[in-house]
Amino acid sequence: MLSSQEVYDTLNGYLKSLGMEVYLFKLANYNEMVTKPFKFQFDGNTVCAVILTVPSFFEDAFLPYIRNTDVKSLVRDPIDSCIAFHVNKAVSLLKDQNVTVMYDYELTPNRRPKVLVQTAAHVAGAAFYYQRKHALLNGSGVCSTTVHCSDSVTDVHFSSQAEYGLQSEFNNNDVNCAAASSDPWDAKKNIFGACIHPRYGGWFAIRSVLIFHNLVNKNLHQSEPVDCVSTREQRIELLNRFNGNWQDWSYRDIISVEAKYSEIQRKYFATLPKDRLKLLSELALT
């Protein structure tokens, strides 16, 4: 049987030079965060991986892929096809093939996302998942908040670390009974959360989650994500940009970054999917 280290080394060895990052985590760490419909019914010590694409993916994996592919024959979105091609290739290098591969865009028969990739990225230590509850914290990352839950009033002191234990009270948009006084938004407003990568800010995407059914490791260390958007003001700004102005991509620059999407990559994503084929034909020739 393969070890966690061998799985990591094999996947990373293949994917790294293609602008793809791999992080391992234990299934229990994901299951502990999400509500019942999103939990996976396997042993909590099962090893999983989350795969990200970072800015260099476009030039190092995608452009070479389309130059070697008849893009008109692709049944899926070209980016998704390229990712599936490389993830499958990486998995095929493992001796153990009992692996479930899921992608960010896949839905269950009841139209729910198969896997919540942002939660996976957070518990794997890849990118901090900033949600509405994180904007309830003050600048130091620690706050004292009075929580009103129906008729009970509880004084709660929490830090980024300790709040994990409070997730049921502080569920994503459920602020009716959670520190509503420090909530910056109207209680009825839906605020979607965003992951921020310590090196690439918002200039990355979370593409896939793998479950290695034959690999159980109760000692796999849980890596904490880097809390790179550390003040309450910055977190509010991030979520305002992500929810209000995501088209201008300014949420991606909430922190200073090592690398961003190139001009051509931005042009590609700014092009309507129906017009991308034409752009790809031009790119394939250059």
Q: Is 122 in the site for ligand B12 (CB under 6 A)?
A: yes
* Residue in this structure with the two tokens 């309830």, named with its chain if needed: 136
Reference 232, options 164, 182, 176, 172; nearest CA is: 182
Q: Is 79 in the site for ligand B12 (CB under 6 A)?
A: no
CB closer to ligand B12 out of 206 and 255: 206
Q: Is 101 in the site for ligand B12 (CB under 6 A)?
A: no
Q: 139-178: which residues touch ligand B12 (CB under 6 A)? A: 164, 167, 171-172
Please check whether residue 39 is in contact with residue 4, taking contact to mean a CB–CB distance below 8 angstroms: no
Name the segment binding ligand B12 (CB under 6 A); options: 27-35, 61-69, 75-83, 230-238: 27-35
Q: Which residues fall within 8 angstroms of residue 239, CB to CB, at 6 or more apart?
A: 130, 132, 135, 191, 192, 193, 194
Q: How far apart are CA 58 and CA 42, in angstroms?
A: 34
Handedness of CA 79, 85, 88, 94 (dihedral sign): negative
Q: Is 192 in the site for ligand B12 (CB under 6 A)?
A: yes
Q: Is 131 in the site for ligand B12 (CB under 6 A)?
A: yes
Please check whether residue 271 is in contact with residue 277, taking contact to mean a CB–CB distance below 8 angstroms: no
Q: 240-259: which residues touch ligand B12 (CB under 6 A)? A: 242-243, 246
Q: Of 50, 83, 195, 215, which lies in the binding site for ligand B12, with binding defined by CB under 6 A? A: 195
* Residue in this structure with the two tokens 């929490």, named with its chain if needed: 158
CB closer to ligand B12 out of 55 and 202: 202
The pairing of beta strand 142-149 with beta strand 152-159:
antiparallel
Q: Of 2, 10, 16, 33, which lies in the binding site for ligand B12, with binding defined by CB under 6 A? A: 33
Q: Of 94, 116, 238, 257, which lies in the binding site for ligand B12, with binding defined by CB under 6 A? A: 116
CB closer to ligand B12 out of 8 and 38: 38
Q: How far apart are CA 26 and CA 48, in angstroms?
A: 6
Q: Of 31, 46, 119, 208, which lies in the binding site for ligand B12, with binding defined by CB under 6 A? A: 119
What is the DSSP secondary structure assignment for residue 252, as one 8-state letter? G
Binding site for ligand B12 (CB under 6 A): 33-35, 38, 104, 113, 115-119, 122, 129, 131, 164, 167, 171-172, 192-195, 202, 205-207, 242-243, 246
